[in-house]
Structure 1
Amino acid sequence: RVDAELCRACGECEKACCFEAINVTQVAQGRKQAIVTEALCTGCGVCNVACPTGAASLSHFKDEQINRMIDD
């Protein structure tokens, strides 16, 4: 899931996703946003870590849980 208010369309999440589940797409004139294709998303959390603004998040896990899994 991507929070449209926080997303700067920088593409970091798109680059980080090895499942190609995220694409930065034009959503309105002059406005781009990262869009997640839910069918391709495995919920691994890499996009969450890569996102500099915290716009990318997983609906199943809290940020603290993801960071703990990565640290282990």
Structure 2
Amino acid sequence: MSTLDQLQVGEKMKVNNIQKNSPVRRKLLDMGITPGVELQVTGRAPFGDPMEVLVRGYKLTLRKNEAMVVAGE
């Protein structure tokens, strides 16, 4: 199982879970990143942080520490 921050531009992932003890868990759930949803990395800043993700038809920008808590297949 990998985490969202490990994906390269163009790769997709289906969310399995979000770390339960993460301080950004509620924020990610509110933004539509829930178990079962498919995410695609559409861009990255030059040093890899932040990253742009396509989720539910809209683009979302996440910091690396936020993407690290999203696990999928």
Shared fold by TM > 0.5? no
Name the structure with the higher helix share: 1
Q: Normalising to structure 1: TM-score of the pair?
A: 0.29
Of the two, which has the highest radius of gyration? 1
Which structure has more relative contact order (CA 8 Å, sep 6+)? It is 2
TM-score (norm 2): 0.29
